Amino acid sequence: MGRAGARRPAAPAEGPAVDNESTRRFVVQIHDARRMHFDFRLEVDGVLKSWAVPRGPSDNPSDKRLAVPTDDHPLAYREFEGVIPHDEQGSGTVIVWDQGTYRPTSHDLAGSPVPFADSLEDGHATFWLDGAKLHGEFALTRFRIDDEDGTRGPEAWLLIKANDPQAVHDRPGTPDPYHARSARTGRTLHQVAVAEREGAG
């Protein structure tokens, strides 16, 4: 694929997709940018709500992963894999490490389901992932890192795996990003970067 083919897709021309149980998608992209990180994205109300997870999602419940909110992305971006040019924001190589569907599992105190967008707004959302690699229930919980003088700091979240039958306990829950392979193409970051250079040559 040439460099032009690797540019991030624009938002779809048609209106946002219906956000229901059967169409909700998620994607986890590894982004070899200025700092290596994972981008965790959930389809919510026609966009991809996104968090940068420096150490990556883990399916080990003992791992509490910092997740920093980033800009919403268009739904088409969940399929992006390639190299973002150096003169563009977020430059670097991207692979789709995991992808699949999810379903919200948040409930109120009375046991009634809570709309997913509302649970995110409230700062605690639980959801079940059915991906190629990640499976089971996860939670996103918001917190703030305040300065020592009491000044309110930036918003951040924790991404945590539930202790369910899909959890792992006897091994690290996150792969080495340099050796991880794409759920879409089976390629590593290095292979994607090499193919991009050869296609642009």
CA angle 44, 45, 47 (to 5 degrees): 65
Q: What is the pLDDT of residue 23?
A: 65
Give me 200's structure tokens.
Answer: 């642009």
* CA–CA gap between residue 137 and residue 168 (Å, rounded): 12
Q: What is the pLDDT of residue 200?
A: 59
Q: What is the mean pLDDT of each run of 10 residues along the chain (201 residues)?
A: 40 38 85 95 96 95 95 95 86 96 92 93 96 96 78 86 92 88 96 87 45
Phi-psi region of 13 (alpha: psi -120 to 50; beta: other; left: phi over 0): alpha
Cβ(61)–Cβ(174) below 8 Å:
no
- Please tell me what DSSP assigns to residue 7: S
CA neighbor of 156 nearest in space, from 146, 148, 166: 146
CA separation, residue 90 to residues 25, 34, 70, 165 (Å) = 23, 8, 11, 36
Q: What is the pLDDT of residue 19?
A: 43
Q: What is the pLDDT of residue 92?
A: 94
Q: What is the pLDDT of residue 148?
A: 72
pTM exceeding the 0.75 threshold for the entire prediction: yes
* CA–CA gap between residue 107 and residue 105 (Å, rounded): 7
Q: What is the pLDDT of residue 22?
A: 54
Q: What is the pLDDT of residue 77?
A: 94
